[in-house]
Structure 1
Amino acid sequence: MIKDLPDNEVKDIAVAVALEGESIEAKTWYVYLINLKKEPIENVLITSKGYGEKDGEQVKTSVLRHMFPVVEGSAFKVIEPIDEATFGLNNEYWVSYYIGTQIFDKKFIFLPESIVDSNFIKLPLVNKPGVMIM
């Protein structure tokens, strides 16, 4: 039963969308997993999808899955590139990982229009401008 599962709280793990570069034609964006813990996390599984309403119609993107055997402590990994066209949707990243034999998981959701300049910070470890959810 779900009540029998341990309540493992996810701490010091973040998902961020960072601006990688700009040209006259377009901006380049990437999504990062940031491990702010001192210890590594293992068997990291991330599913990503976008969903919401665009031009009055319901829209869903494909579900993508990403796997990292280890993300070292105080380190980050690139999850995937992200298209600016999806910024008007909910962009969901469900992250699951192990520390030892304990499993942790959490959904990180970038709400529509939350990836904007006014929400930018300097992302820790990545050292680029972007939006981060912890």
Structure 2
Amino acid sequence: MEKRTVDPWKWGEYTNSAQAVDVKQPEGTLYCSGQVAIDENGQVSDADMRTQLLQTIRNVEQLISEAGYECRHIVRLNVFTTSTAEFFTTCLDVYQGFTARHGIKQATTLVEVKGLYQTATVELEATVVK
């Protein structure tokens, strides 16, 4: 697989993402359903958004790994949250740490929504290539 990011504007260097990701000759593509803070017993967290994001990231990492892929090959990562203001003030460092830890440079969209599954406040939806 060959992966190239496209970021035609200088400000793009500071967004912790890419404006586009070009993938050539992938061996496979994994389309992940949106992941929220659900524990191994199927219980949705009612914790604060930061705590939920930490669990959500663990779920994303486990899902991708068990599917035989690597987080560093995430090419699209959509974020859905019930409050973008809260996400930026309490979760941005966690999100940036996740992408930096895996060397992810992805196309991304951040969307504020009225509600998510049960008590979830943040959801991540990934596309990963091999």
TM-score, normalized by length of structure 2?
0.30
**In proportion to residue count, which structure has more helix?**
2
Larger Rg: 1
Higher RCO (Cα < 8 Å, 6 or more apart): 2
Scaled by the length of structure 1, what TM-score is found?
A: 0.30
